[in-house]
Structure 1
Amino acid sequence: MDALERRDTETADPVDGSEDTVLGRARRALTVGIVSVVVLIAFEATAVGTAMPVAARELDGLSLYAFAFSGYFTTSLFGMVLAGQWSDRRGPLGALTIGIGAFAAGLVVAGTAGAMWVFIVGRAVQGFGGGLVIVALYVVVGRAYPERLRAAVMAAFAAGWVVPSVVGPLAAGAVTEHLGWRWVFLGIPVLVVLPLALALPQIRRRAAGPVDEETAATFDRRRIRLALGISLGAGLLQYAAQDLRWVSLLPGAAGAALLVPAVLGLLPRGTYRAARGLPSVVLLRGVAAGSFIAAESFVPLMLVTQRGLSPTLAGFSLAAGGATWALGSWVQSRTRFAPHRERLMTAGMLLVAAAITTAPSVLVPAVPVWTVAVAWAFGCFGMGLVISSAGVLLFQLSAPEEAGTNSAALQISDALANVVLLAATGTAFAALGGGSTTVTADGHTGAPPVAFAAVFLPMAGIALIGAWVTTRLREPAGEP
């Protein structure tokens, strides 16, 4: 019996089969608590984009608008690495508690800010907390649930995004209009109390403490230094990308010099070449999330500027994706599909590639505009198969004492791929005339369709690379 099997045996409860589920009596409070945390984070993530323009305008900080987003991302990277170290050596309870506290504190600072720089500081504190929370939650799943239940928990995490993805922007718009943008930030911290009251006692019982007592008091200082390097490097690169002056090449070069070795040191060895096993799982997470999110970011703009849809209708064209994403996560959680998980993930990436390829077909006026909504629903179904399954495979391929470090690597791959591919697609879009996009009364635009094609078709190609990576997720026979 290996270490992971021993962990499964230790966390299993002596209950009958009807109770031994994620919502059975033994784990109900834990599941409801941690999924509620995900729901609240999802509400914040989907609502903040609606309130942010109003906040920046009122704080006279439109020139610093992008830093409100990049500040969150930069500090979240450091939080992810720290949470991995913390969870492996002392258990996820401390990282989760401090992370939620920092997330809530950042919301309060942002919601009460009187100047844009204070608002950005609040977003940075919030990002640090968010990085701690997401990795700690993954470690909780690995420690507190036996292997047969982990896919179901991942499906529950995905389902937790469905309602926020649909309701979040609408609710934030209503709150911003009637109560003010500050309440979009200040309303969430109060709601965190109930999930904490449900989850923390169960986490203390099932997942507290180190796996290996010998390493409980030590942190890998090298990884902490690399975490600082990746955060500072990402911040400098984002500053250079937003400044767009020749002098910004200097911080851009310094950022790359810090970021590249840090990434190579923090991700599993062989990730960049898709080595079999864990490195390919981590790589796939970035490839899937980066290609899909980069393409999705341009869908509403394409529908508004090329087909004359209102922003609301353009946004609703993606609404069904939340439900199909959750459906894909539910499918991969079924026990009968477990032996075929890699094939499901291959099918998922092919669906993602097909959706991204189909989306720009609406650039042809004869193609019905609802084609995008249908294609994106299938693409989100594929993402549900891939993203949740990647989390399940991560735990299968990780020793218990490495779950935190590997979970952090998974999240870092996701975050960095999003930033790099969004920057690449944005540059291509602008270079081909997309930066001059203007909407006329009849819905036409000055941006050439080729600018949108230059976004979607390369991302479809990267998604196809992801389909190949799914063939390398298992270690060769005979290796541990």
Structure 2
Amino acid sequence: MDSTATVKRVSVSPSPAQDSLFSRRFLSVTLGACALVFLGAFESMAVTTIMPVISADLNGQSLYALAFAGPLATGIIGMVVAGNWADRSGPTRPLLAAVTMFTIGLIASGLATAMFPFLLGRLAQGMGGGAITVALYVMVARALPPRLHPPMFACFSAAWVLPSLVGPVIAGFVADTWSWHWVFLGVVILVVCALALVTPTLRRLSASEHTLRAADADGTVPVRAAWDAPRILWATLAAVSVLTLSLAGEQGPGGLVVAVVALVIGLIAVRPLLPAGVLGLRRGLPGVIRMRAVVAATFFGAEIYVPYLLIEHYNFSPTAAGFALTGGAVSWAVGSALQGRMGDRLPNAFIARSAPIIAFVAIGGLFVVALLHLSPWIALAAWTLAGLGVGMLYPRLGVLTLAHSTPTNQGFNSAALTIADSFGSAISLAIAGVLFSSALIGGSGPFLLVFAFTAVLALVALAISSRMLGGLPTSVEPTPTMPVTVVPADPHTGPITLISAEEIAVHTGTITIVSPTQPENRDED
């Protein structure tokens, strides 16, 4: 395949100084896009809070973890398909399809009276939610002037953080006051309203797509991105392997064999979606992405069982149990702010080692609480501590990924970081679910097995922490005079992140658009 990049320069007229995200020109799309991000994040946190009630109501305790692992797995498919689709035809159709899928999932779960239709709804929510994020990023890249990209992504970050602070409590209150069904059904009308706010922008983008493709000052005809069928198939196989692994606990004596085979297939399937060396011990970028996967597996593998423990063993209401998740979210935000404020005074090596240690201590505290039936306030304090370390580490992993990237592979590497996070969490949740359901059948302490497993993952993260360091370019600072670079059409990656706040140099003149290229770091092991 020809790996030569086709570069096109598009003149962009500077926007009036008074135009901001909340000016009349962009207010609708700003509110609508942030609302969609907020609702997706809210639903994720809400389900974590009320899932113990749902599993008891639908008699689905053995499938508890699948309600979380399944959406993460199908979300990978949604991300890959939406990225590829947006490269081909712009963000309008992918976003409409994604919101439709997400809404169908909400309705299916909200109306469910048995565990199986509820889980089908959750799978649809995951696929739609993953695709929504990708399509929104593409919409922002094409609909807003470059100088508004940083504040827009800051709004997205706030839209993700806010539900983690208020979502668990609100979801618990709704479940306590009315029914858990309304946690899903009540969001549907809000999703429709949010989509209505971005629809005018989508119509303008759709109408201008043909013109933008045809217009070329250099006389070069832009190439329409092809469907990347192999990448979509690998993502689908990875998702199927996670779902199979999640169900292994239901297979009786042969469940262990099924679990091992599914795990191996999943690792094989995710390999083409990640940089070479992630599944080995290579340093540098592979080490960064590997660390993200293991830390996500540690944190999210334990998180969903914290409210479950409080509700099951201590008779907490969903509202009260939600405060445990809120505590973790607050400390996450504190950790993120702390590392940002201290900068180089808090070295990457220190954070890389501290975060797994903090996670191990916190999860160890949960294990002891479950073992000795200690005060539930110890569990609340332990999970609040857990958020601090991960909050410090996650932003640094993002910065290191960009530092290891070039304009030709920023899309691939950003996508790989997100996929590693989702896949690592999904695999961890699937294994934890198998352990939990096996312990239920055997009559032993299911929470003890889950917390022991995730504590071991924290030790694994500590062991590999040094592999994420080193191998950086001599200079990683962006050059202020360089134009904004957008990487929307790598056929190998179907990139899901066109730009982020760290990648943007504020310009209102020329945008350099880089079309299909071969990622530079895709060498073989």
**TM-score normalised according to structure 1 size:** 0.74
2:239 equivalent in structure 1:
231
Unaligned runs of 5+ in 2: 214-219, 477-519
Question: Match for 1:353: what amino acid?
Answer: P
1:289 Cα shift? 1.7
1:259 Cα shift? 1.9
Unaligned runs of 5+ in 1: 439-445
1:129 Cα shift? 0.6
Structure with more helix by fraction: 1
2:358 equivalent in structure 1:
355
> Cα distance 1:287–1:429, how it changes in 2: closer, same or farther (>3 A)?
same
Question: How do 1:24-423 and structure 2 match up within 5 A?
Answer: 29-52=28-51, 55=54, 67-113=66-112, 115-140=114-139, 156-202=155-201, 214-240=222-248, 242-249=249-256, 251-252=258-259, 254-273=261-280, 275=282, 278-299=285-306, 310=316, 315-329=322-336, 337=343, 340=344, 346-359=349-362, 360-361=364-365, 363=368, 373=380, 376-377=383-384, 379-391=386-398, 405-423=412-430
Question: Match for 1:321: what amino acid?
Answer: G
> Cα distance 1:230–1:423, how it changes in 2: closer, same or farther (>3 A)?
closer
2 CA distance for matches of 1:458 and 1:63? 22
> Cα distance 1:158–1:382, how it changes in 2: closer, same or farther (>3 A)?
farther
1:442 equivalent in structure 2:
none
> Cα distance 1:21–1:358, how it changes in 2: closer, same or farther (>3 A)?
farther
1:95 Cα shift? 2.3
1:40 Cα shift? 0.7
2 CA distance for matches of 1:249 and 1:105? 34
2 CA distance for matches of 1:192 and 1:287? 32
2 CA distance for matches of 1:63 and 1:431? 8
1:234 Cα shift? 1.9
2:499 equivalent in structure 1:
none
Identity of aligned residues (%): 36
Question: Match for 2:420: what amino acid?
Answer: S
1:460 equivalent in structure 2:
458
Question: Match for 1:468: what amino acid?
Answer: S
3-state SS of 1:273 partner = coil
2 CA distance for matches of 1:303 and 1:474? 44
> Cα distance 1:283–1:383, how it changes in 2: closer, same or farther (>3 A)?
same
Aligned partners of 2:69 and 2:429 also within 8 Å: no
Which structure has more relative contact order (CA 8 Å, sep 6+)? It is: 2
1:113 Cα shift? 3.7
The Cα RMSD (Å) is 4.7
2:480 equivalent in structure 1:
none
Question: Match for 1:325: what amino acid?
Answer: W
1:105 Cα shift? 1.5
| Total equivalences in the alignment | 459
> Cα distance 1:27–1:13, how it changes in 2: closer, same or farther (>3 A)?
farther
1:51 Cα shift? 4.6
> Cα distance 1:352–1:155, how it changes in 2: closer, same or farther (>3 A)?
farther
> Cα distance 1:138–1:318, how it changes in 2: closer, same or farther (>3 A)?
same
1:392 Cα shift? 5.5
Aligned partners of 1:135 and 1:407 also within 8 Å: no
1:43 Cα shift? 1.8
**TM-score normalised according to structure 2 size:** 0.69
